[in-house]
Chain A
Amino acid sequence: MESLNSRIRLLWIAQGAIVAAILGAVLVGVDRIVVDVPMGVIAAVIAVAAILGIAYAVRLYQVWQFELQDDALYLERGVVTFVETAVPFVRVQHVDTQFGPIERALGLSSVVVYTAGSRNADVRVPGLTPDRARSLQDTLRELAVESDTDDAV
């Protein structure tokens, strides 16, 4: 099983921080417009949200793993709900590499695997170095072509 690049924690922590900041902003707004919210309460809420965010990011990183098996891309992820997904290579429609602004700053990128499935039709493997992402994309593409059957939707 392969783990993600450890820098992905920073991305997730940043996302948690953004949520905490939004929460803080909302509370400040409530304080100004609706009822008085003591400064201490706001600080405490932000602090708790930030700590939870960090804990979540760390735990998610520990949990996230993926592996190329004989017939499928296999992933394990999830903190609250732990999900193990197998994406058979035959079912891969196309494979993308993507990165957002924060990911780019951290030198990370994601591989997104699309299937014809109804829900969760796309499976994302985040936190890969650009090289690893490209090699994973190539491997998946080759495996998908290799196992191609005459069974498109």
Chain B
Amino acid sequence: MNRLHPLSAVTLALRRALAGLFVALTVVTGLAAFVDFVSGAWMTVAVPLGFLLGGTYGIVYYFRFEYEITDTTFDVSSGVFSRRSREIPYRRIQNVDVRVGILQRLLGLAVVSIETAGGGNTEAVLNFVSEEEANRLQREIRRRTAKATETQEKSSADDLEDVPAADSESARDRNEAGDPIEHPDETVDGRGGEPSVDHESPSTAAQRRDHAKREKSLFGLEARELLLYSFTSFRPAVGAALLFFVFIAIDPVINHLLTVAQPVGGPEDLETGTAGNYGILTAVSFVYAVAVTYLVSVAYTFATYYGFKLSRAGQDFVYERGLVQRYSGSIPAEKIQSVTVTDNPLQRLIDYAGMWIETAGYGPESSSGSQSAVPLARKSRVYEFTERLTGAETPKFLSPPELARRRYLARYSIIAGVIVAIAFGVSLATTLEQWYLAAIVFLAVPPAAHLRYVNIQYFVGEDHLVVRRGFWRRRTTVIPYYRIQTVSTRRSVFQRRLGLASVVVDTASSSSFSMTAPTIYDLELEDARDVNITSRKQLQRTLRERAQDDDLGLTVDFT
């Protein structure tokens, strides 16, 4: 059994001690206000006591927190009063992430998170271990996962009459990496915590270590790409964070906005000012807010993706990134559910795009299983990578019928109508009179409908379904048929009148950027049914094929 880094005892104790102090403070204050015989003087005793108890709890917690790498599972047991021991089978691990914050980097520490597909939370968080230990864990888990997979594949292959010749891409890969496939005694069960290396000949063990260590670089984000990525991506979440900041520091912010707006005709202060003054202040504030949000978002993206590097180790992808806070993680290739190419209008303008891989786990910051594999690169390269990684052919995209565009025209007209109605409502309640000016939004309706329409495309391939949607953040998702979970055809009242239908293809990826599963919108009903039936048939076919052949379905060396 291993413990966390001794320094985490210090932080744990401090954190709990502060929590204890706070609880004591609140309880005494609360009681003093309502119960007569409790007085504020109790503080002098209660507060140090809370601090001490909390600190002790933290230290005990440190000593009661243990983790271990066994042959088949990763075990964590924790808890002071109620104990919890958790065993995570290697085969179920989706990704292993290592996070190093700025202070932790100075102290040589790291936080390790282990994710599985179950539950919304990270299954095991080691907060924190030394950096070498983090790397060792990541490597060991990766190695054991690969072995567990291999053993299982072997045992299932033995059941079959015709064991396929080892000429598939992945099998060749393993052979050339020197991993022994013949190890009849290496079953997953039994042999508790014994290090399995003992049973191997020294040379294979060495080869295996070599194999685990050998990382092949696949993609590095160059300075130019990093800058382009920073300046062309927009993070609405930053806006929300800034709004929160404005909320807690409202007065200085307003004063600052007043000083900024004054030279261009803003009011002296909030009390004196004409309608025109206020209009200018509002406009200036808006532009200012957008500019600040954009700049913060640029800085954030830059710091997060600084030094991005993707490589492969065996059948796993390993990535590294971050300027202040370093992230590194590994994703087993066999856990990949789908691959998505994203681009926004700006990126399309300069012919760049990004590639994301999606698993059923949860990423370190995005709370979804999407991991950026290639943050930004030339479009042609990204498409080439995607095709090579998934083995999909170049899609010949199909579009929904023209009728769909009419639907969007109608839909956006309704939205525009609602905006005008709101403007009218506002004009009734205030002195604003030119509510009809809001009708200008109707001008945006035809282009909006058109842009939505042209960005909806799909392709039914040999082994993959490709779904493209969205204008602001266009996503082109490549779904291997064997990853499909359920297929639905949806028809709203409006769609039924036009004879249209949407096809929803659900996979196990925990989030596909937006809140919806990949959807092909507004096909003709017959086409939708075709896509639906084809997907189901292909799912069965590809599953059968995969059962016979241990082909991964992905090419790990995609660059």
A residues near B (Cβ < 8 Å) are 71-72, 78, 80-88, 90-91, 115-121, 123, 149-153
Contacts and interface: CB of A to CB of B under 8 A. Distances in A.
B272 interface: no
B543 A151 contact: yes
Contacts of B532: 84, 86
Contact of B485 (A84, A91, A149, A150): A91
Contacts of A85: 486-489
B493 interface: yes
Contacts of B486: 85-88, 91, 115, 117, 120, 123
A118 B508 contact: yes
Contacts of A82: 490-492, 496
B487 A118 contact: no
B509 interface: yes
Nearest to A82: B491
B506 interface: yes
B482 A151 contact: yes
Nearest to A74: B536
Contacts of B482: 151
A121 B118 CA distance: 12
Nearest to A116: B508
B248 to A, nearest CB: 33
Binding site secondary structure of chain B: mixed
28 contacts: A71-B540, A80-B492, A80-B493, A82-B496, A83-B488, A83-B490, A86-B487, A86-B536, A88-B484, A88-B486, A88-B540, A90-B539, A90-B543, A91-B485, A115-B508, A116-B117, A118-B485, A118-B509, A118-B510, A118-B511, A118-B517, A120-B517, A121-B485, A123-B486, A149-B546, A151-B546, A152-B92, A153-B508
A153 B484 CA distance: 11
B547 interface: yes
B380 interface: no
Interface in B457-505: 482, 484-493, 496
Q: Which of B360, B486, B512 has the most CB of A within 10 A?
A: B486
Nearest to B539: A88
B74 to A, nearest CB: 17
A125 to B, nearest CB: 14
Nearest to B91: A152
Q: Which of B490, B508, B516, B517 has the most CB of A within 10 A?
A: B508
A109 to B, nearest CB: 22
Given A88-B536, A88-B539, A118-B511, A150 B156 contact: yes
B95 to A, nearest CB: 13
Contact of B152 (A71, A123, A150): A150
A153 B517 contact: no
Q: Which of A84, A91, A121 has the most CB of B within 10 A?
A: A84
Given A82-B496, A86-B486, A153-B360, A117 B536 contact: no
Nearest to B117: A153
Given A83-B490, A87-B486, A119 B507 contact: no
A128 to B, nearest CB: 20
B347 to A, nearest CB: 26
Given A72-B536, A85-B486, A90-B543, 17 more contacts: A71-B536, A71-B540, A81-B490, A81-B492, A82-B490, A84-B532, A85-B489, A117-B485, A117-B506, A118-B510, A120-B517, A121-B485, A149-B546, A150-B152, A153-B117, A153-B335, A153-B360
A69 to B, nearest CB: 9
A81 B497 CA distance: 12
B403 to A, nearest CB: 18
Interface string B125-164: 0000000000000000000000000001100100000000
A119 B517 contact: yes
B491 A116 contact: no
B161 to A, nearest CB: 17
B498 to A, nearest CB: 13
